[in-house]
Structure 1
Amino acid sequence: MRYPKDHGQQTRRRIVENASYGLRQNGADGLSVVDLMRLVDLTHGSFYAYFKSRDALVIEALALAMDQTVDHWLDLTQGLPDEKGFDAVVESYLSPRHRNNAARGCALPALAADIGRSGPEARRTFAGRLEKMIDVIAGLIPKRSSMDARQAAAGAIATMVGSIVLARAAGDKRLSDALLEAGRQALRNQGANVFPSP
């Protein structure tokens, strides 16, 4: 059977995409090479035809997942005034839908702790993508100096990630919903300071 010319690239892309979902659902340490390859209906023996190591796949899948969050935020805020864009990101991030769908959600709450225990290349990749995320949020805070906007953006991301982590871990829907609302309220209060009334 002949494969199309770009079959190898398509297969590699499929492995990375499925790994990014699996890693967000189960954590970086929660899936073996066998599990990762099973996600795309391939044998684990073919893994090394596409990646030099499991860590290389984890890094690529992490980068894809974080890029998807940036793309989602840019789509969500396109054409909105800055304050409305900031609110749209917060509401989308701190929603029951995001809480309930770790596999398709932001990589930060799912993988940050694992990446913190990983090697320098994984941490560099994580830090570089996190800088992009901070840039997107900082771009929604135009009436501050660049340094102040970045600090406010980093605080907003930290609040969103922490709220989602706790909401997912709570186990009790009432408490989980309350944690999401507490995060939204904290960011509304921050937004009132970031976007003062005229």
Structure 2
Amino acid sequence: MMTIMRKSPINVRAAAKEASHERIVQAAARAIRRSGYDGTGVADIMKDAGLTHGAFYAHFESREAMLAEAVDRAGAESNGFGARVIAAVPAEQAFQALIQAYLSKEHLAGIETGCPVAALGSEMPRQAPEVRRAATRRIKEMIDLVARQSPDWGQPGVHERALVTVATMVGTLMLARAVDDAALSDSLCSAALKRLAPSDA
């Protein structure tokens, strides 16, 4: 006799809640990069996720808890993009490819889906500890990703050079997005790329 297993109502509800939670975090991860932390309201996020405002507290204890998950997700997406860039090229080209992708015109224009550090860095000191903690963890992951692609990986000083590289990458992207002069924006990215990963390296 064959037994047919049916999903219990509890499992169906749990799966639906998980899918809704995922939509909220995805919407919030895009919104914080587009509008900043202060410009990201719960009502707008819930609307973008296709849910009612009242459903928010079924998923999060507070707005700060949502923001912490959102910045964690944004950081994971950004670092995941970097990892995919690295995986697509030979090992000896990984460092340069990573920096080229980060300082590309596509990344410059992709604020909503790009690096959350460049989009939100100046706002971080004013955020709740849980938001800063989530962002810090992803920044450390980014530094480690850069360090491991360095031509001198394993040598003394590589971590310090990775710190400088990441700081330069993020600072360059912030400035290139801030100015209203396209030529200056291009020059900032080109100069940083030339210094960080010269093509004849």
Q: What is the TM-score of this pair, normalised by structure 1?
A: 0.88
Distance in 2, matches of 1:121 and 1:30, equals: 18
Which amino acid in 1 is paired with 2:160? Q
Q: Does 1:84 align with 2:86?
A: no
Deviation at 1:79, TM superposition (A): 5.9
- Residue 106 (structure 2) aligns with: 97
Distance in 2, matches of 1:126 and 1:163, equals: 19
1:112 counterpart (97, 121, 125): 121
Cα root mean square deviation, aligned: 2.0
Runs of 4+ in 1 over 3 A off after TM superposition: 2-5, 79-83, 144-147
Q: Within 5 Å, give how 1:47-62 maps onto structure 2.
A: 47-62=56-71
2:36 counterpart (27, 37, 40): 27
- Residue 149 (structure 2) aligns with: 140
Structure 1, unaligned stretches of length 5 or more? none
Distance in 1, matches of 2:139 and 2:156, equals: 16
Structure 2, unaligned stretches of length 5 or more? 1-8
Which amino acid in 1 is paired with 2:43? V
Equivalenced residue count is 191
- Go from structure 1 to structure 2 and tell me whether the alpha carbon gap of 1:168 and 1:74 turns closer, same or farther (over 3 Å shift): same
Deviation at 1:119, TM superposition (A): 2.0
Q: State the Cα deviation string for residues 17-42 of structure 1 (Å, max 9, x = none).
A: 11101111111111111121121122
Give the secondary structure class of the aligned counterpart of 1:102. coil
Identity rate, percent: 34
Q: State the Cα deviation string for residues 82-126 of structure 1 (Å, max 9, x = none).
A: 441011111111011111110010111111222221122222222
- Residue 137 (structure 2) aligns with: 128
Distance in 2, matches of 1:162 and 1:83, equals: 25
Q: Within 5 Å, give how 1:154-173 maps onto structure 2.
A: 154-173=163-182
Query: Are the counterparts in 1 of residues 92 and 151 from structure 2 also a CA contact under 8 Å?
Result: no
